[in-house]
Amino acid sequence: MLSFFLSLLLSCGLAQNQTTIEVCPGCKVGSIKEAIAMASDFDTILIKKGTYNEFNILVDKPITLLGEASATIDGRDQGEIFRIVSDHVTIDGLKIINVGTSYTSDYAAIRVVKSQHFTIRNIVLEKLFFGIYLERSDNGIISNNKILGDALDEYNSGNGIQLWYSKNVVVEGNLVQGVRDGIYLEFADHITISNNHSKDNLRYGLHFMFSNDDSYTDNIFENNGAGVAVMFSKRIKMERNTFRRNWGTASFGLLLKEINDAEIIGNTFEKNTVGINVEGSNRINYLRNNFIENGWAVKIMGACYTNAFRNNNFIYNSFDISYNSKLNDNVFDQNYWSDYTGYDLNRDGIGDVPYRPVKLFSYIVNRSPETIVLLRSLFMDLIDFSEKVSPVFTPDNLADTHPLMKKRI
């Protein structure tokens, strides 16, 4: 109790002593570095309208850097802009341009190193290498930033938002485009990613590596090299996201590789080359998702066990399910398939004839991609009909025995 009151008194004392230092070209303090050197803990530095040619700005005390409209920091391609090494730092409302490029130091517009309780919001980044880069930093918020890159090649570009060995971070409401990976997580646990728009990035809109217990909800991943890649991770929740127009010869909406115990619920996969590409992933629940007009809705490449597909809508995909194994212990139950031609005599909403979602032609295309030119041809219809009447290649139990007659709304 005594320590609580001492902490409260200390906080009140700090609050009373907080000051605001104004920075502008004509002010008494003309540079951000100078203002930080003058500031005491928990002061606010108000950066007024103007352009500041500064880089390698070290933030080593708990302060707030607040930018007015049109307050711009121009790094002139000389190096990193901000390096935060203190807890309780907020950077709000600045425009940062011309971050330096380094293939050995990975220069970033804002780098947070071994710090806690940081907030980075309302920042506009242009002409960057890496955007916001967290290193071993926890309990922070990255929100409502615009990261607008102009990357042309993967080998000489950085990521928009990168988290490395960081925990309990919220990434929300950001626009990230024109970089290598929009958002990249490596050894980052308990991360919440919501309401971001990641588009036109060279590689992935969102990329997980060795990260556990994270969630991403209500995001849009559009026109990236590929939408989202979740690799070597566990217990990831993916809900109500939109994956659309991730289109190309090796593209997909969502890649799952060596992941376990995940939830994929209420997402929309629309007009991707492959909606979901799955390899070596187990115990995943696919519930109430919409697969609309994809090349392949779901491609299951092998070593995928104990997964369940329930109450999903498969609508006008060229191929609903692709499978490369004769073994199956995955469950397909009560999904809607737009290609289903069965009947419902008792009118309970469930088709009386099981639906087999794997077409023989998908096997042929997997082995010989050039045969895709035969899609929609009479030849394709004939071999698919023969497989439907007498299945040879598809596992006997790979069927939806309760197909829905109407799509789930």
- pLDDT tens-digit profile of 263-284? 999 999 999 999 999 999 999 9
Average pLDDT in the 166-181 region?
97
250: left (phi over 0), alpha (psi -120 to 50) or beta: alpha
Among 18-27, 116-125, 193-202, 207-216, which is the least confidently predicted range? 18-27
Per-residue CA distances from 350 to 150, 272, 354, 357, 406 (Å): 50, 29, 10, 16, 9
Domain with residue 289: its CATH number is: 2.160.20
Q: Could you give the number of structural domains in the chain?
A: 1
What residue numbers bound the domain in which 214 lies? Answer: 72-389
Asked, for residue 406, whether it belongs to a domain, the answer is no
Per-residue pLDDT band at 155 (split at 50, 70, 90) = confident
Asked, for residue 64, whether it belongs to a domain, the answer is no
Q: For the chain, what is the mean pLDDT?
A: 89
Asked, for residue 176, whether it belongs to a domain, the answer is yes
Per-residue pLDDT band at 4 (split at 50, 70, 90) = very low
Per-residue pLDDT band at 16 (split at 50, 70, 90) = low
Asked, for residue 38, whether it belongs to a domain, the answer is no
State percent of the chain over pLDDT 90.
Answer: 73
Per-residue pLDDT band at 356 (split at 50, 70, 90) = confident
Per-residue pLDDT band at 152 (split at 50, 70, 90) = confident
Per-residue CA distances from 44 to 22, 92, 165, 237, 341 (Å): 9, 11, 29, 38, 67
- pLDDT tens-digit profile of 287-327? 999 999 999 999 998 788 899 999 999 999 989 998 877 77
Does pLDDT of 8 surpass 50? Answer: no
Asked, for residue 239, whether it belongs to a domain, the answer is yes
Asked, for residue 360, whether it belongs to a domain, the answer is yes
Average pLDDT in the 30-51 region?
96
Asked, for residue 43, whether it belongs to a domain, the answer is no
Asked, for residue 41, whether it belongs to a domain, the answer is no
- pLDDT tens-digit profile of 210-258? 999 999 999 999 999 999 999 999 999 999 999 999 988 778 999 999 9
> Is 388 or 242 the better-scoring residue by pLDDT?
242
Helix axes 378-389, 360-367, angle to 10 degrees: 120
Does pLDDT of 383 surpass 50? Answer: yes
Query: Is the Cβ–Cβ distance between 386 and 318 less than 8 Å?
Result: no
